[in-house]
């Protein structure tokens, strides 16, 4: 017997309608390329999204077509986040930091019909356009008509908007229709497309806004430093609208002083970004203190937030850090690391240990850890296994790729490729990616644990640990270290002595090399693929 409840499609236009009805005056602020601030409200967003939906129709975009965006975080990009899916098409966010070959591959693979380009990034796109054959129109924003470009079939955003009608009936009626496409940045292999549906993104939005999750409310002001071209900006553009939270978008201004200024001036309550961004902000706020007392949660994810930095933020700046974990394949939110009531009695240093874990699953996401034989492991805080997940906002296949057992289990779980322990109370602690683990003499060594410990040393700015081949043990750990510019010099012996009491003897790195900078991926994570390459070529230490 079926229930007798409404068949109400969970589509993106519902989210926008809600914000328009309830929070018409809440502000959306963008720092423009010239450094000035642009501000409007959800009412303006709503009206412009309708115009933009008409523009898409005039450009020949049909339901199901892929429309690319190549842009910083700004209000035009936000308009595209709504107009594309609300007109039935698929919003394909292109990562501006990809290598040209990857960018070409992705646009052609997705068969984008129209691409919207932030003119400040035009040269990057011009460099690849000749290898792209599917795009019928390019639309430029943050640009005036006089702008010269090598791209064919170019129109200008504001001109199209000025000519468009602002009356539009939303076209997304099937909640299972695709609404967004995002390729993984390829930290571990070729980029693969994750195709979100309206339903999955709607449910993700509700999941993100649960009280035990990000808990956004209309009192929040969210600064999205996490790029809109990466994992749908963690779903924040939708979560903010549903909650009525105000939004601040930094455009191309990602330097620590710019971010510190935006947080202070716009009274941001939730800044969101990856750890490397927050390392820079910490030093900026220490050197040039500002009033940031309104920050209720510094949201961090995408890579492990070093415990030392969580402690430093709280001790020195009185800023509460909220650590979260996710993946492009998970829309992306999987876990958050709020303290629970039973942690409140703990001494501070133990609370920081909890916050340094990636957290407990957001309700709606199921998790398990398994061993190499696929057997489920205990949640005892010690046993390490591969993390597998399932739920309504988790991918079941990649776009135009045959489902492979490498990524999906026969019983319907997604293999994350992360290795973690789960504590009895459900907190995941990532110890590695399966591809980054050091396997020494049959035992697993966590590169992440070594890195975090090294980065807690006052002379160390960044540290990455990679596996290097070893005749006797198979693999051994090697640490690659960047010293802080203002720090006292330290030798490799001193760093090894510093690590020694913290780890079993066989975990200690065999080699240590000092370098100027750890290479980063397109989304700011340590690129260990490059480090392993350099080692193999004899160019590392
Ligand atoms: P990729 O890095 O392959 O481009 P994503 O950007 O989707 O893919 O990143 C997902 C991965 O990032 C996760 O599988 C995990 O390894 C890592 N990650 C994300 N958040 C965290 C976190 N808080 N701590 C540690 N690792 C994280």
**Residue 393, phi then psi, degrees to nearest 5:** -120, 30
The residue written with tokens 């006052």 in the block is: 458
Quick check: helix, strand or coil at residue 332?
A: coil
281 C-alpha to ligand 1 centroid (Å): 21
254 alpha-carbon distance from chain centroid: 15
Mutate to test the pocket of ligand 1, among 418, 449, 451, 525 (most ligand atoms within 8 A of CB): 418
In angstroms, the CA 524 to CA 518 distance is: 10
β-pairing verdict for 321-326 and 333-336: antiparallel
Residues 467 and 471: their CA atoms lie apart, in Å, by 13
Whether pLDDT at 315 is above 80:
yes
Task: For a ligand 1 pocket test, name from 93, 102, 186, 327 the mutation site with the most ligand atoms within 8 angstroms of its C-beta.
Answer: 327
Residue spans per domain, the chain = 12-214+236-243, 439-535
pLDDT score for 154:
97
Percent of the chain with pLDDT over 90: 84
The answer, yes or no, to whether the previous bond of 332 is cis (omega within 30 of 0) is: yes
For the whole model, what pTM was predicted?
Answer: 0.90
Query: Which pLDDT band, with edges at 50, 70 and 90, does 91 fall under?
Result: very high
Question: Which candidate, 81, 78, 84, places its Cα nearest to that of 59?
Answer: 84
Contact 39, 31 (CB under 8 A): no
Q: Return the residue whose CA atom lies nearest to atom 27 of ligand 1.
A: 303
Give the binding-site residues of ligand 1, using a 6 Å CB cut-off: 184-188, 231, 301-304, 323, 325-328, 332, 358, 416-418, 430, 433, 523, 525
Query: Residue 494's CB: how many other CB atoms inside 10 A?
Result: 13
β-pair type (66-70, 37-41): unpaired
Q: Which CATH architecture has domain 12-214+236-243?
A: 3-Layer(aba) Sandwich (3.40)
The CATH H-level (homologous superfamily) assignment of domain 439-535 is ANL, C-terminal domain (3.30.300.30)
* Cα distance between residue 48 and residue 54, in whole Å: 10
User: CA dist 443 to 383, 384, 446, 474, 499, Å?
Assistant: 12, 11, 10, 10, 19
Tell me the pLDDT tens digit for each residue of 23-53.
Answer: 999 999 999 999 999 999 999 999 999 999 9
Q: What is the pLDDT of residues 451-506, one digit of tens each?
A: 989 999 999 999 999 999 998 888 999 999 999 887 788 999 999 999 999 998 89
Q: List, by residue number, the catalytic residues.
A: 184, 329, 439, 444
């Amino acid at each position: 017997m079926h229930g007798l409840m409404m068949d109400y499609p969970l589509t993106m236009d519902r989210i926008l309608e809600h914000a328009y009805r309830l929070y018409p005056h809440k502000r959306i602020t963008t720092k423009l390329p010239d450094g000035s601030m642009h501000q409007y409200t959800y009412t303006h967003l709503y009206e412009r999204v309708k115009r933009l939906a008409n523009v898409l129709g005039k450009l020949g975009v049909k339901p199901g077509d892929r429309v690319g965006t190549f842009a910083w975080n700004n209000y035009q990009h936000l308009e595209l986040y709504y107009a594309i899916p609300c007109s039935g098409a698929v919003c394909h966010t292109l990562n501006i930091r990809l290598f040209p070959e990857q960018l070409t591959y992705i646009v052609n693979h997705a068969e984008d019909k129209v691409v919207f380009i932030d003119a400040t990034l035009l040269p990057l796109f011009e460099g690849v356009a000749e290898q792209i054959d599917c795009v019928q129109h390019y639309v430029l924003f943050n640009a005036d008509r006089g702008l010269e470009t090598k791209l064919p079939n170019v129109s200008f955003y504001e001109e199209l908007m000025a000519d468009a009608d602002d009356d539009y009936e939303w076209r997304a009626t099937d909640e299972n229709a695709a609404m967004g496409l995002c390729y993984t940045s390829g930290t571990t292999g070729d980029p693969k497309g994750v195709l979100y549906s309206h339903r999955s993104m709607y449910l993700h939005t509700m999941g993100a806004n649960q009280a035990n999750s990000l808990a956004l409310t209309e009192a929040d002001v969210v600064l999205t430093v996490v790029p809109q071209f990466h994992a749908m900006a963690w779903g924040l553009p939708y979560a903010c609208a549903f909650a009525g939270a105000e939004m601040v978008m930094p455009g191309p201004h990602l330097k620590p002083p710019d971010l510190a200024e935006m947080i202070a001036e716009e009274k941001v309550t939730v800044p969101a970004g990856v750890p490397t961004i927050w390392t820079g902000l910490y030093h900026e706020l220490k050197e040039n203190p500002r009033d940031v007392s309104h920050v209720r949660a510094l949201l961090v994810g995408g890579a492990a937030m070093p415990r030392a930095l969580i402690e430093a933020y709280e001790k020195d700046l009185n800023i509460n850090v909220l650590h979260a974990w996710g993946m492009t394949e998970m829309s992306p939110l999987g876990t958050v690391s709020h303290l629970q009531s039973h942690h409140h009695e703990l001494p501070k240093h133990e609370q920081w240990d909890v916050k340094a874990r990636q957290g407990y699953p957001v309700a709606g996401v199921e998790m398990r850890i398994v061993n190499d034989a696929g057997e489920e492991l205990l949640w005892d805080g010690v046993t390490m296994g591969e993390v597998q997940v399932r739920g309504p906002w988790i991918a079941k296949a990649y776009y135009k790729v045959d489902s492979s057992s490498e990524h999906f289990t026969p019983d319907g779980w997604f293999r994350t490729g992360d290795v973690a322990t789960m504590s009895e109370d459900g907190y995941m602690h990532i110890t590695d990616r399966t591809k980054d683990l050091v396997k020494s003499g049959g035992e697993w060594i966590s590169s992440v644990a070594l890195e975090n410990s090294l980065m807690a040393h006052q002379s160390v700015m960044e540290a990455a640990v990679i596996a290097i081949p070893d005749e006797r043990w198979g693999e051994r750990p090697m640490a690659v270290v960047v010293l802080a510019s203002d720090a006292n010099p330290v030798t490799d012996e001193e760093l090894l002595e510093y690590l020694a009491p913290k780890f079993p003897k066989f975990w200690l790195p065999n080699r240590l090399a000092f370098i100027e900078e750890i290479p980063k991926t397109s989304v700011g994570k340590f690129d260990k693929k490059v480090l392993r390459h350099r080692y193999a070529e004899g160019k590392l230490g």
